[in-house]
Amino acid sequence: MAIMESPESVGAGAAATTTTTTTSVISSAGNANCELNYDRSGSVRRRPSVAAALKEVVKESEAESDSSFKEIYTNDDSKNEVVNGNSCNGELEVTSQSGGKDEKEKDKDGNSEGRGGGAESSSKFTYRPSAPAHRRIKESPLSSDAIFKQSHAGLFNLCIVVLVAVNSRLIIENLMKYGWLIRTGFWFSPRSLGDWPLLMCCLSLPVFPLAAFSVEKLVQKNYISEPVAVFLHVVISATAILYPVVVILRCESAVLAGVILMLFACIVWLKLISYAHTNYDMRALSKSLEKGEEVPSYFGTDCTYDISFKALLYFMVAPTLCYQTSYPRTTCIRKGWVVRQLIKLIIFTGLMGFIIEQYINPIVRNSQHPLKGNFLYAIERVLKLSVPNLYVWLCMFYCFFHLWLNILAELLRFGDREFYKDWWNAKTIEEYWRMWNMPVHKWMVRHIYFPCLRNGIPKGAAILIAFLVSAIFHELCIAVPCHIFKFWAFIGIMFQVPLVILTNYLQAKFKNSMDYYYRMEKVS
């Protein structure tokens, strides 16, 4: 506790002495710092802002001292002074101002002592039985009015601990009952290392971006016309997706190798479409500039049509599907951060493979066909698969969309890292599909949805076309590596269309009902 008292004014010709006593306890955290000003006569004066600041500190301490209720009431002839306890470092904040002579208090021993002075005097007033313990109207932390006004990190951590403990017990129980069921042949067969057609196909995929770059260069130099360039881009992009399909179907390759190759092929196809479509539009924009037309503000100052191999090379490895001549870039690469993310990627990838081999595959192998056996048995099998499938899906999302794409963006200093939004808060199916995979969503909006609208196609038909393209690629990535063409993935994606319509209808209906009840309650 520090007591600061201004000395008497000292100076020649001083007719009167004015003494101002300000007793203030300053906490060690530095919430209030007293500042002194010396005038020409040598007097010590306080700045007006200091007094105001001390008052603000006292007000804040009165409003926020919930953890320790230490109020001391002392009676004076003219007013009551409230001394509030602050929980920070167990110190007290006392502010009292009076004019004129210093007020003194004497204890029983006759010792003179300033009001609020010294740790010994303040300890006498601490935790008095008469201090009120209930001062304000407060809600319980879990009540509906206060539950969203505070952090629930502790409950979240508790749920994580319980989830880890429960699943660890299930894993140990499964291993004790069935043993180690992981088979390496499912992921990598003995001939996987010698399965050179898939490896050669993957290494030859960069040929197609080079071909697209050559076409754009020919168009830029006016060696070929626009329709010829469009035709060549269609041939290049179609070959880029059909070539891996033929290679996988003709080779008895492992499932994982086929899935990886098809994912790379689909990504290359999407990037080629964006590259060709964007350059086509940039040529049209360049012609509009030559005619003196205004350019939209979102293009910025640089909207010139230019074909750069460096821009294409960066685009093909960047974590995006939408081509631009330049991207927002970060200043540096955080090497330690990259190492930590790589360790997480290895751990969660191993966990995903363990769940598939130890839980999902045995259930699938021991199950009957869902349409040929007992209906209740089929429902039980599906529900038993739902939990491990959910874990695998969450691990896949975290590994790919958060870890891998952020690692790639960090290494390339790619600035826009909104690879997903808070899809867990989506209220409708349409909102979920807009938020969970942002690279594909931006590609769909940029190269399918808005072009359909600009060509006079209705909004509903444009959404249906976007889902159709997504369903085809989901079917290619699943059916081709597994050599199973049952159109399950295609049907599953297309089934989202009626779900989108249904959830949008329900949201609009219940939202209008809630708005109506809210208005009626407000009027009443």
Catalytic residues: 474
Q: How many angstroms separate the CA atoms of 174 and 359, rounded?
A: 9
Q: How many angstroms separate the CA atoms of 443 and 466, rounded?
A: 10
Q: What is the Cα 60 distance to its own chain's centre?
A: 33
Contacts of 96 (CB under 8 A, 6+ apart): 23, 81, 115, 116
Three-state SS for 189? coil
Q: Which helix (H) or strand (E) holds 24?
A: strand 21-24
Q: What is the dihedral of CA 480, 486, 491, 492, to 10 degrees?
A: -70
Task: Annotate 423-484 with three-state secondary structure.
Answer: HHHCCCHHHHHHHCCHHHHHHHHHHHHHHHHHCCCCHHHHHHHHHHHHHHHHHHHHHHHHCC
* CA-closest candidate to residue 31, choices 78, 90, 93: 93
Other beta carbons within 10 angstroms of residue 441's beta carbon come to: 19
* CA-closest candidate to residue 217, choices 272, 287, 276, 273: 276
Handedness of CA 193, 194, 195, 198 (dihedral sign): positive
* CA-closest candidate to residue 279, choices 251, 243, 315: 315
Q: At what angle do helices 335-355 and 405-412 cross, to 10 degrees?
A: 160
